[in-house]
Amino acid sequence: MSRQKHLVLDDDVHEILKERKELTGSSIKDIGNSVLRASIESVFLGDIVARVLIDKGLVSAEDLELALQEAAAKLQANHATLKVPIETTKKGTLISGSLETRQLFRRSDGAFQVLESWTRDSRGLPMEAHRHDADEFFIVLQGRILVTMAGVPHTMRPLNILQVPRSIVHSVKPIGADCHLLVVLVPAVPEYFGS
């Protein structure tokens, strides 16, 4: 007789797995196993490569440690300046991925701003991972979007609201051609001023 083994997961992880199941059509077990295998393999692969380099005398343990510290510092520096690539259209709207955005309101002192975003094409391209020095609130009016925040995906539907705290790396991807949402930034973010 085979005994079943189960991981005890937090409620938010179960919710994310359910959302991914609905989005992909895969079972929760398959999604969970895939994510765990990828994570484990990634960690082990780095450890194995490091051990091979040291064993072959290509690098010392001290040099490897210094290289890891330097890589961590570069990663931190890159995250500190992650800005979303935005293109301004002739009509003054902003384009990033498959989303088009316009500023609806900005308080004169820059305390906050309100943006409107919608799907501009059917390619489903995300706004690339970025961060701002502002809290960001997504309010879905129509359709669905996928917000990945600090590596954790959140599928949002109409009337869902999600806060992305300041300095958290996130990306936004429309799911389907009918996405329409409001975005509130506190304080205002100059990249989104438009014209």
pLDDT tens by residue, 112-171: 999 999 999 988 888 888 888 899 999 999 999 999 888 788 999 999 999 999 888 899
Cα of 115 vs its chain's centroid, Å? 19
Could you state, in order of their start, the residue ranges of all structural domains in the chain?
11-80, 87-189
pLDDT for residue 4: 67
pLDDT value of position 68: 78
- What angle do helix axes 11-24 and 28-55 make, rounded to 10 degrees? 100
Residue linked to tokens 């765990």? 36
Average pLDDT value for the chain: 84
What pLDDT band is residue 75 in, cutting at 50, 70 and 90? low
Is domain 87-189 in CATH 3.40.50.150, yes or no? no
Three-state DSSP class for 19? helix
Q: What is the mean pLDDT of residues 169-191?
A: 92
Output the CA–CA distances (angstroms, integers) from residue 72 to 78, 86, 150, 152, 153, in the order listed. 10, 27, 16, 21, 24
H helices present in 6-132, as ranges:
11-24, 28-55, 61-80
d(C-alpha 55, C-alpha 58), whole Å: 8
pLDDT (average), residues 37-59: 78
pLDDT digits (tens, 9 = 90+) for 4-26: 666 676 666 667 777 777 766 77
Stated pTM of the model: 0.62
